[in-house]
Amino acid sequence: MCGIVGLFLKDKSLEPQLGALLSEMLVTMTDRGPDSAGIAIYGADQNDLVKLTIQSPEPETDFAGLTEDLRKAGIKNASILPKNTHAVITVSSDQIDATRSALEDLRPNVRVMGTGTAMEIYKEVGLPKDVLERFKISDMSGTHGIGHTRMATESAVTTLGAHPFSTGSDQCLVHNGSLSNHNNLRRELTREGIRLETQNDSEVAAAYLTGEMAKGKNLGEALTSALDDLDGFFTFVVGTKSGFGVVRDPIACKPAVMAETDAYVAFGSEYRALVNLPGIEDARVWEPEPATVYFWEH
Amino acid sequence: MPVFDLATTELRALNQALHALDKSGVPEDFEITNPRGAHAVAVGIDAPVNVTINGSVGYYCAGMNEQATVTVNGNAGPGVAENMMSGKVVIKGDASQYAGATAHGGLLVIEGNASSRCGISMKGVDIVVKGNIGHMSAFMAQSGNLVVLGDAGDALGDSLYEARLFVRGTVKSLGADCEKKEMRAEHIELLTRLLADAGITDVKPEEFTRYGSARTLYNFSVDNFDAY
């Protein structure tokens, strides 16, 4: 099954509530997938600074003294904000690659969950309410975000197998479904130089979109190509720095409901996920059509 | 009139109260408030009760219904009136996938649109959709009638048995072994009754096109031997 949610705010006054609204939506979807949960949130863009969300199975040891160790490795002015098993490292944008390789040397157990000027990503094994509580997601503000609660089918129940997947700067994807041509696509994407961390099918979808956008396509165009190139069942909700997109495969078995008001665009695997949103009673509510790309941009 | 507020009452209490009704009695009308997309609302009723649901429901609303009239003042999630035996289910908004799947009898009226697989494997139910229906509707439909005032999506009536399909608008594509058929007097009469039962007065039966099975998949054709 899996449950997916997304919220793209149009009304700035709702931004302080983004984390709380998304958390409530995701917790409602718990019975669609209790294995693991995750969320990606787009917050304020900071001039010339990039955020790396990292994760460690041993956060106390790995995050201790990390700023100092990075400084010694030549990464100046890195700041680190630990949050449970994750931490957000902020560095100047020209040091992103250097920071990644320094981390590989200094802290081999640390994984980079995602990078970007606006996006932070948090995911762990466990029930949505516990995962969201660990990272205090409901206190977070932002412009848009997506979330996922997983019932694993194609790969192991691990932190790295949880969604959202991020394979490009400020890009992330959540998936309900299963792909059947992911092994072949993974080989092709690897040959193109795109880095994949797991054996998970959904990560391949994320990497595919990253690859298409790297060729100059916008999010909507990349999602349109996905309809031709990805084989299998999927409902995807995708975030970029300023955009939010939804696409379902042509068979459209995996459920999806959308709602739009003047204040937001919302996505849920089921209507239940949307019932606590402000003004939902008067929202336009619809089921996204199969093989049809929907996307919004700030 | 029993009123169940699902914001404060367990769904199971509602369904148990509905199941406890006398099959042959004339029960009081039920009202359900705050369904908030809940699954399995008013399933398995077997009594001539009127149930009004104020709000949108999730999966399998009014599934397996016998005798009851269930009205949803909102949208319905996947599998509404699945395997209905008799009675009437009215959705004032839209219905999601596989509305009326496998239903044996009764009448399902969807006043908005129905999405994919509407009436899949239907076995005798009458379904009237005022809006459009999605792809793969009436797939392997065995008997009963599907009436669509709007348009139908791809692969209508694929691998159809003996269900009758009536579409007033366009059909994006027909599924395997489904074909356009002549509208005879008996079909006009049938449609007149179905439209009246669904409370539709402003549409004429002559505006519809009938589709049914070409019956070429019923028996093995020796010409297809090489495909096996």
Please name each of the domains of chain A with its CATH number: 3-44+127-297 (3.60.20.10), 46-117 (3.30.70.3400)
Contact criterion met (CB < 8 Å) for B37 and A290? no
B224 pLDDT more than 90: no
* pLDDT at residue A238 in the model: 98
Structure tokens that stand for B90 in this block? 């009215």
pLDDT-derived band at A75, boundaries 50, 70, 90? very high
pLDDT-derived band at A129, boundaries 50, 70, 90? very high
Contact criterion met (CB < 8 Å) for A271 and B115? no
Integer-rounded Cα Rg, in Å, for chain A is: 18
* pLDDT at residue B113 in the model: 98
**Domain B3-212 CATH superfamily:** Glutamate synthase, alpha subunit, C-terminal domain (2.160.20.60)
Q: Read off the DSSP letter of residue B182.
A: -
Q: Could you say which of A252, A271, A285 has the minimum Cβ distance to residue B58?
A: A271
What residue segments make up the domains of chain B, in order of their start?
3-212
- C-alpha span between A249 and A176 (Å, rounded): 11
ipTM: 0.92
Nearest CA in chain A to B112: A286
Interface test with B, best of A25, A176, A272 (most B CBs within 10 A): A272
pLDDT-derived band at A76, boundaries 50, 70, 90? confident
Please report how the helices A182-191 and A201-214 are oriented relative to each other, as an axis angle in degrees rounded to 10.
40
B222 pLDDT more than 90: no
Contacts of A160 (CB under 8 A, 6+ apart): A111, A197, A198, A200
The pLDDT tens digits of the residues spanning B109-123 come to 999 999 999 999 999
Residues forming beta bridges with residue A92, ordered by sequence position:
A49
Residues forming beta bridges with residue A259, ordered by sequence position:
A266, A285
Q: Is A2 marked active-site?
A: yes
* C-beta neighbour count of A296 within 10 angstroms: 17
User: Which chain A residues have a beta carbon less than 8 Å from that of B56?
Assistant: 271, 285
- C-alpha span between A284 and A36 (Å, rounded): 31
